[in-house]
Structure 1
Amino acid sequence: MVHSMTAFSRQDRDTAAGTLQLELRSVNQRYLEPHFRLPEALRDLEPMFREALRARLARGKVECTLRFEPAGDEAAPAVDRRRLAALATALEEVRESVPGTAMPDALSLLGHPGVLDSRGPDMEAVKQEALALFQAALDDLVAGRAREGEKLAALIRERLNAVNAQVAEVRRLMPQILERQRAQLLERLEAIRAELDPQRLEAELVLLAQKADVDEELDRLATHVAEVERQLGQPGPVGRRLDFLMQELNREANTLSSKSVVAATTRCAVELKVLIEQMREQIQNIE
């Protein structure tokens, strides 16, 4: 199945620790090129994200953005009253033992280890949630690339049918082409009648025969069209093969144009090149 390299996915998840939001977007690129923007606390997830991408995607520039908003109650620090009471008792004992000792102020008391409970969210749990969210986003992205790929394949098949129609038209014109070749040959023979050099006459015959013979180009065009159709049904990435086939199709269309001896054949060759270019533009987005 043909997959596009263009897709977008956004996934959100509310957890006990806060809200996670993950975005994946991909565009066409010659190779797989992932980029990550992750919160510092979740930065060590990047190798796992990268490996998951490589397992599912072969080409494309992929941007991954992960955001984490801690829950409000988790972010607010709280006073451990038990520890504060124990600290006050200890301070009272110090004052009794050493009269005149200066006592700390409230801010100093809050800075004492254990008095202010500023524990944040359980980041290990958040990481597991983020991994699950990434997997959901990746599944959605791959599905989107597949849907877009089906549309691209349909557009390419329309152009392939049009190419076949042009090839059939040139074959239909072959009698006219041969008649034109005969007329050109007679004109050239008339021009060299005074000389009647057998070697020159033979050279002219060979040249005109080669110029008008487009059967080989038509056969190769039909063969390449069939191969493009076959590649569209193959599993895995096929974009590079399709791009190569577009080059071969264009080569045959150019040769057909150079051998044209009637205006209708030239028009067919031009139309072929337009169709091939349209397919090539679509194929640039295929994985």
Structure 2
Amino acid sequence: MIQSMTGFGKAFVQLPAKKITVEVKSLNSKGLDLNVRMPSAYREMELGVRNQIAGALERGKIDFSIYIENTTEQTATRVNVPIVRAYVEQLREVYAQADETELIKMAVRMPDALKTEREEIDENEWKEIQKVIDEGLVNIQQFRTSEGVSLEKEFLFRISNIMRMMNEAMALDGERIINVKNRLNAALDELKVTLDENRFEQELIFYLEKYDITEEKVRLENHLNYFIETLAGKEANGRKLGFITQEMGREINTMGSKSNHAQMQKIVVQMKDELEKIKEQVLNVL
């Protein structure tokens, strides 16, 4: 079962004094591109969170955020009382006529008038946050799996189209050989020369072998089956699928260069179009 690299997961918990929300967003990427945003109070836990995300999601451009919403009237910012009093005394010397309220208004705007008390991480609180992180990662993995189901259906549809078109092209092979023989005979008739029939047959066989697409058909069919087999694998296989599509493209291109038949070339172009649609979606597979 394949997974998409595109996904979104969200979870939250309501603690006595705050609401913790975790959001995880993911897009496709060649490797792991991880961006983590956390409140400064939890920065010392960031490395562990990064390792946890990398182990769960493996690959993709991932944005991870923890949001804190205080639900009580408590605040970590405090008035630095001694500093404010010192400012008021100094301002009173400058503005003796000002009343106390005006002096305080000016004092609280001065540097260091407010201080932020750094909260220590509460172990029980972090355990609750860890549960929310786990839930958010599970949710995004479920999203990725759901998207993977849609991708798999799309791949199987495109692969069946290429298989059908390949068989249609091979069905034209007999007609193509007859046309080549007729064109060669017509050209020789115009020259009005006497032919050695045995030599002509030998040269014709050699010529037709150069344009034979049986080997390309066999290899392409093997690649198509291997692609389907890889889709059903349990491991992350986006890169492998990409390599297989490259091999499929080589065989389709060779068939096109050898076809020498208008209808067959048209079918080859349609096969290339289907393959390009597969390649676009493979970039999104984990």
Shorter-chain TM-score: which interval?
A: 0.7 to 0.9
Distance (Å, rounded) in 2 between the aligned partners of 1:14 and 1:282: 39
Distance (Å, rounded) in 1 between the aligned partners of 2:161 and 2:118: 67
Gap change, CA 1:272 and 1:121, over 3 Å in 2:
same
- Structure 1 residue 10, shift from structure 2 partner: 1.7
Aligned to 1:42: 42
Distance (Å, rounded) in 2 between the aligned partners of 1:181 and 1:264: 14
The C-alpha deviation readout for 1:242-265, integer Å capped at 9, x for no partner, is 111111111111111111122110
- Structure 1 residue 203, shift from structure 2 partner: 9.1
- Structure 1 residue 29, shift from structure 2 partner: 0.6
Distance (Å, rounded) in 1 between the aligned partners of 2:169 and 2:249: 16
**RMSD after superposition:** 2.5
Distance (Å, rounded) in 2 between the aligned partners of 1:238 and 1:284: 11
Distance (Å, rounded) in 2 between the aligned partners of 1:56 and 1:160: 30
TM (normalized to structure 1)? 0.78
Structure 2 alignment gaps of length 5 or more: 79-116
The C-alpha deviation readout for 1:64-101, integer Å capped at 9, x for no partner, is 011112332443899xxxxxxxxxxxxxxxxxxxxxxx
Partner of 1:151, secondary structure, is: helix
CA contact (8 A) 2:9 2:136 kept: yes
CA contact (8 A) 1:178 1:212 kept: no
CA contact (8 A) 2:31 2:60 kept: yes
Aligned to 1:232: 231
Aligned to 1:146: 145
- Structure 1 residue 207, shift from structure 2 partner: 5.7
Shifted more, 123-132 versus 22-31: the winner is 123-132
CA contact (8 A) 1:224 1:245 kept: yes
TM (normalized to structure 2)? 0.78
CA contact (8 A) 2:41 2:121 kept: no
CA contact (8 A) 2:181 2:204 kept: no
The C-alpha deviation readout for 1:207-261, integer Å capped at 9, x for no partner, is 6313431111111111110000000000111101111111111111111111112
Partner of 1:72, secondary structure, is: coil
Aligned to 1:82: none
Output aligned runs, 1:113-128, within 5 Å: 123-128=122-127
CA contact (8 A) 2:41 2:119 kept: no
Shifted more, 186-195 versus 271-280: the winner is 186-195
Misfit runs of 4+, over 6 Å:
195-198, 200-203
Q: What amino acid is the match of 1:229? A: I
Output aligned runs, 1:210-249, within 5 Å: 210-249=209-248
Aligned residues: 247
- Structure 1 residue 134, shift from structure 2 partner: 0.6
Aligned to 1:21: 21
Distance (Å, rounded) in 2 between the aligned partners of 1:76 and 1:243: 52
Structure 1 or 2, whichever has the larger Rg, is 1
Gap change, CA 1:49 and 1:77, over 3 Å in 2:
closer
Asked if 1:270 corresponds to 2:250, the answer is no
Shifted more, 145-154 versus 177-186: the winner is 177-186
